[in-house]
Amino acid sequence: MAHTAIRSVALAAALSLSACLHLAQAAPAFQVGVGMSDITGEAAEVGMMGYASLDQKTSGIHQRLRARAFIVQDNRGATPGKSAVVVITDTGLVTQAIHQAVLARLATRYGSLYNEQNVLISATHTHAGPGGYSHYALYNITVLGFQKATFNAIVDGIVEAIDRAHANKAPGDILLNQGELTNASRNRSSAAFRRNPAQDRAVFPQEIDPLMTVLTFQQAGRAVGALSLFPTHGTSMTNTNTLISGDNKGYAAYHWEHEVAGVRYRADGKPFVAAFAQTNPGDMSPNLNLKPGSGPTEDEFENTRIIGQRQSDKARELASHANQVLSGEVDYRMRFVDMSRVQVGSAYTPDSQVHSTCPAALGASFAAGSTEDGPGPGIAQEGTANPFLTAIGGLLFPIPDSLRQCHGAKEVVIPVGLMQPYPWVPEVLPLQLVRVGNLYLATLPGEPTIMSGYRIRRQLAQTLGVPVNQVLVVGYSNAYTEYITTPEEYSHQDYEGGSTLFGPWTQPAYMQELDKLAQAMVRGENVSTALRPRDLSCCQLNFQTGVVMDLPPLGKTFGTVLQDAQASYQPGQTVAVRFQSAHPKNNLRRNGSFLEVQRWNGNQWVSVADDGDWSTRYRWRRTFGAESVVDISWTIPADQAAGTYRIVHDGNAKSLWGTISSFRGTSRPFAVSP
């Protein structure tokens, strides 16, 4: 009887343990959190980042810029609680200054929980945002220096997005799906691409990388966010545009979030978050006719929408059919590397010889620019002084013979890595490998071509023992240093080759150094480095004129309607209202708006659109001295409900004594009817 009782108790215990193990296995693999915030900087009279044109300065907003954050915490792996953070920003770049400032801010909030090892920040590479947020001169020259307000807006928004993702963490799963998108990019440097060996080119028979990867983040079986990775440049908007825009990837996110998921950015506490990141777009143009602003149409705004919607539609299709649940642990490795002096082993070079990288330099083809997306950088114009450039050394650059020899085929014109007292670009750069389940993300602080990306992915996949599609490179991450071409592409010296800063062996050097991280990850070893990037926050110059004061004309006040709405409109028509206004630099209205389209619901006016919506445009211009006006337009969507509407403009004016006060202007009510 005693033995029988013991056996019964043991059986019950075993069944109980089995049930517990089953429940543990059924529990979600991760804690996941998503969040976003506004990172829109100065909307007027600040040079824009991307085309390096002195003439391209912000003059308003078409769409607000946002940071979108994803946090993954391991529930089951060897180190439960281990976390990784991925942030995608609607910016041209992620500069080292941004990376440093965000990490410093996170350390004060979270201690060592989120740090340089496990935080990945990457840009969509829009060319339609305000610039001046680097601590390195090359990226501030055409913006006339460091723009503190824009810098702070980006840092504040990134940190807020991470805060919100952290606060929203809950048990969840991540679904993976991959597919091909072939009508949103075209190779803008085919001649250089064709220098690569035939067996490598065969991987990309259309000379594009069509791979789209979509991660869907779920909590309790409900999708709360999605991260899409696909390579195409953020250059649908041309260098003649001066309205802030997230470009095609910004529209892709807006379409999924706002048009499909119904997100209202200023009102939703826990919105669905859809980020559209880059992989290796260095030679991928969205301008399908290989001319700026051309393809599929000749309208840059319509092209932005179409290329964005193609990405959004494909990503949503992949997400809707995703059935692979990511499994495995969260892991990461990161170290700093001085890319100006890497000795590259023979195992990583096409000619099986040992080579080395060079101090950074730009070639003549850099100045020519990419004719498919935009002309060369307007660092200086004949007969026009650039006080920032004069202050940091002018245009007379001694170029040592050793530097010319190291850069090989490149005709060196600016030795940016040899400038004094500081180089014009960073050389001590962060390289990072992040594992989320069975997907690996390898970061690059620049713009890799599709072949550069593929070679790195292929090497890392071999080391990690996984299929090549389980490894992605993520460009524009954690710092920025121009382009990354293969040695064969470099020899052609197209724009991308002339902008490959560290010489012909840049791509093999990145491949080698990332492979060291992969080897360490496989062995379970930590990596460390004594190298640290310099902090130049102390030493920034700004020659951009600030706001002295705002004045309305005699007989007018701020917010006065100068051109009013008509009495009635139909869907598809555009409402246009002009207001007496003040400089938008006085208050960036981050997480707010300079305009609202409001509808009367019978009891009160309710906002239906603002300056973050595709249907609106907010354009500021100076009229005389301290006087300025704002033109607000709203193209009425086809499905807009009939009713009574009005346009509201909010702004802030600066007095001669420096006091900033708010004002509001309101159009006449108007009818919208079918």
Q: Which residues are catalytic?
A: 285
DSSP H helical ranges for 168-228: 190-193, 198-201
Q: Is the dihedral of CA 670, 671, 672, 674 positive or negative?
A: negative
Report the length, in residues, of the chain: 674
| Structure-token match 């920025």, residue found | 480
Report the Cα–Cα distance between both ends of the chain, in Å, rounded: 86
| CB-based contacts of 446, cutoff 8 Å, min separation 6 | 282, 475, 476, 480, 481, 482, 483, 484, 501
Give the angle subtended at the CA of 109 by the CAs of 105 and 115, to the nearest 5°. Answer: 65
Torsion on CA atoms 378, 415, 486, 402, rounded to nearest 10? 150
C-beta atoms surrounding 9 within 10 Å: 10
Residue 307 is encoded by which pair of tokens? 């290329």
Strands 568-569 and 670-672: parallel
Helix (H) or strand (E) holding 15: helix 2-26
Q: Is 515 exposed, middle or buried (0-12, 13-18, 19+ CB in 10 A)?
A: buried
Helix (H) or strand (E) holding 571: none
Buried b (16+ CB within 10 A) or exposed e, 376-408: bbbbbeeeeebebbeebeeeeeeeeeebeebbb
For residue 436, the Cα-to-chain-centroid distance in whole angstroms is 20
Strands 574-581 and 561-563: antiparallel
Calpha distance 567→670 (Å, rounded): 5
For residue 48, the Cα-to-chain-centroid distance in whole angstroms is 14
Helix (H) or strand (E) holding 608: strand 605-610
Strand partners, 646: 598
Residue 434 is encoded by which pair of tokens? 């992040």
The 8-class DSSP code of residue 584 comes to G
3-state secondary structure of 540: coil
Calpha distance 289→383 (Å, rounded): 34
Q: Is 627 exposed, middle or buried (0-12, 13-18, 19+ CB in 10 A)?
A: middle
- Phi, psi for 433 (deg, rounded to 5): -125, 120
Calpha distance 173→72 (Å, rounded): 9
Give the helix, strand, coil percentages of the chain, each rounded to 5.
25, 30, 45
Contact 169, 30 (CB under 8 A): no
Q: Is 25 exposed, middle or buried (0-12, 13-18, 19+ CB in 10 A)?
A: exposed
Q: Is 86 exposed, middle or buried (0-12, 13-18, 19+ CB in 10 A)?
A: buried
313-317: Cβ within 8 A, 24+ apart = 314/179, 314/181, 314/184, 314/212, 314/230, 315/212, 315/214, 315/226, 315/228, 315/230, 315/252, 315/256, 315/274, 315/276, 316/256, 316/260, 317/179
| CB-based contacts of 223, cutoff 8 Å, min separation 6 | 216, 217, 272, 319
